[in-house]
Chains A and B, each alone.
Chain A
């Protein structure tokens, strides 16, 4: 009797608890399942961020086209120094040096194209404030770093407003920044943009000379039009910080569905990203898509050896970047796109036979 009781008790006691081995096996199985599930969850989150980003691009594209309906031209940036148009000289084979006006005429205020479309993005009050301030004597003057034009101190609250529609959720660095060129000398904080207007496939030469093909890698002197450097007409929808040549829909002879209008940017590698400023809102397809040297420091990026090579289109979405075409459609472009196709899609009137292939 006693033995039976002992046996029963022992049997019950073994049933009440798991052994260490059983527990470890269960934990291991759960661990494996979680390991399989986690990448899927992360991928789903990234897919959601990418869709939100595509939605912003769509809104920006529609705003640009609505602006075109009202003004009969695409949004335009105003340079902070008024450049002279040197296109003819360059076509004649002359070397055209950077031509900065030391005493530019009034009105060269550095206003970026995103300011143009603020009313279409339902930010009429922001637009009205900017318009009022830019009509004052200080607002009409050039040289943003000296606190004029878009750089006037009375506009600082506006230029540091980070609108969600210009912010890609996949880029944590798309937030107000104190590190943007031209603005950082006086410690001004500016909003930054995840979306930049396509100026075509211009190269960015190291000698800052229009018509030059003297470039550093990753650019190559065989892919991309010679540097326009603010003094020549671009072959994209937007101009490189120049006011003097508005682009209209009828000039997009390659077809609006085959021409990039606005594409993506990663703020943390590009300190030319001030959102409402004419030298922060453009990018070129003369640089390979998604050129992203993420392992460099802020000082490396700002040292002038690299700052030009990061002014292409780039995004943190895996495998490519999104663009809104001039017809308002949004497409994801794979980063292994053929160079000639990529350049062809960036130009508006170069008569290449390219299409997205969708």
Chain B
């Protein structure tokens, strides 16, 4: 009798608790998840803003890279995204030179680190198919322009 109870205490209970924890923890909103690392010419890109734009209909997903270039995709404020085909855009910038505009608002953004064509949904060559389950997509950017790329005219800017 006592042996049985010891068995319950030591083996069954943790297992039951683990099962419960798994049951409570499951049930995310989205079927797919995407993580990966962003590099430009094999160097890590920190503080990059990424968007996953569905090729067909659907909500866009987004991510930000951390100091080590890693990212995880979110839709709204939950991790994950719907499976499907996505065009990917990415822009990473240096910190702005000033911390405030002369007028009291936010300063203009810093210089781009990533090449311009990766920031445009029309020009970005990054297209990926996201499957159900976890996906690893390492965004390997190069500073080599895609064929047909011509730099745009510089816009006037007033600070």
Contact residues of A with B, CB < 8 Å?
21, 24-25, 28, 32, 35-36, 39, 81, 95, 97-98, 100, 144-145, 181-185, 206-209, 212, 214-223, 271, 279, 288-294, 296, 302-309, 314, 316, 318-320, 335-340, 342
Is there contact, CB below 8 Å, between A24 and B121?
no
What residues of chain B lie closer than 8 Å to A220, measured between beta carbons?
51, 53, 60, 89, 121
What residues of chain B lie closer than 8 Å to A222, measured between beta carbons?
53, 121-122
What residues of chain A lie closer than 8 Å to B106, measured between beta carbons?
181, 271, 302-304, 307-308
B125 adjacent to chain A (CB < 8 Å): no
**10 A-B pairs whose Cβ atoms sit less than 8 Å apart in the complex:** A207-B108, A209-B157, A212-B155, A221-B120, A290-B77, A292-B76, A304-B96, A304-B108, A309-B49, A319-B29
What residues of chain B lie closer than 8 Å to A97, measured between beta carbons?
155-158
Q: Given A291-B76, A339-B54, 20 other A-B contacts at CB below 8 A?
A: A32-B16, A32-B20, A39-B24, A97-B155, A97-B156, A144-B104, A181-B106, A216-B49, A216-B119, A217-B62, A218-B60, A220-B60, A279-B105, A291-B62, A294-B77, A302-B106, A304-B110, A319-B76, A335-B77, A338-B57
Q: How far is the CB of A316 from chain B (nearest CB, A)?
A: 8
Given A24-B9, A304-B107: A335 touches B49 (CB 8 Å cut-off) = no
Is there contact, CB below 8 Å, between B156 and A305?
no
**Which of A81, A296, A336 has most B Cβ within 10 Å?**
A336
B141 adjacent to chain A (CB < 8 Å): no
Q: Contacting A100 at CB < 8 Å: which of B54, B64, B103?
A: B103
Q: How far is the CB of A166 from chain B (nearest CB, A)?
A: 22
Is there contact, CB below 8 Å, between A305 and B53?
no
Which B residues, 116 to 130, have Cβ-Cβ distances below 8 Å to chain A? 119-122
B50 adjacent to chain A (CB < 8 Å): yes
Q: How far is the CB of B79 from chain A (nearest CB, A)?
A: 12
Q: Contacting B75 at CB < 8 Å: which of A181, A212, A335?
A: A335
Q: Assign chain B's interface to a size class.
A: 35 or more
Is there contact, CB below 8 Å, between B59 and A337?
yes
What residues of chain B lie closer than 8 Å to A340, measured between beta carbons?
57
B90 adjacent to chain A (CB < 8 Å): yes
Is there contact, CB below 8 Å, between B20 and A35?
yes
Query: In the docked arrangement, what's the CA distance between A222 and B55, Å?
Result: 11
**Which of B20, B54, B62, B157 has most A Cβ within 10 Å?**
B62
Given A95-B155, A182-B104, A335-B75: A288 touches B62 (CB 8 Å cut-off) = yes
Is there contact, CB below 8 Å, between B60 and A95?
no
**Which of B29, B60, B110 has most A Cβ within 10 Å?**
B60
Query: In the docked arrangement, what's the CA distance between A185 and B99, Å?
Result: 12
Is there contact, CB below 8 Å, between B108 and A206?
yes
What residues of chain B lie closer than 8 Å to A209, measured between beta carbons?
155-157
The 9 closest A-B pairs by CB, nearest first: A335-B76, A290-B76, A217-B51, A145-B104, A218-B62, A307-B106, A304-B107, A304-B96, A182-B104
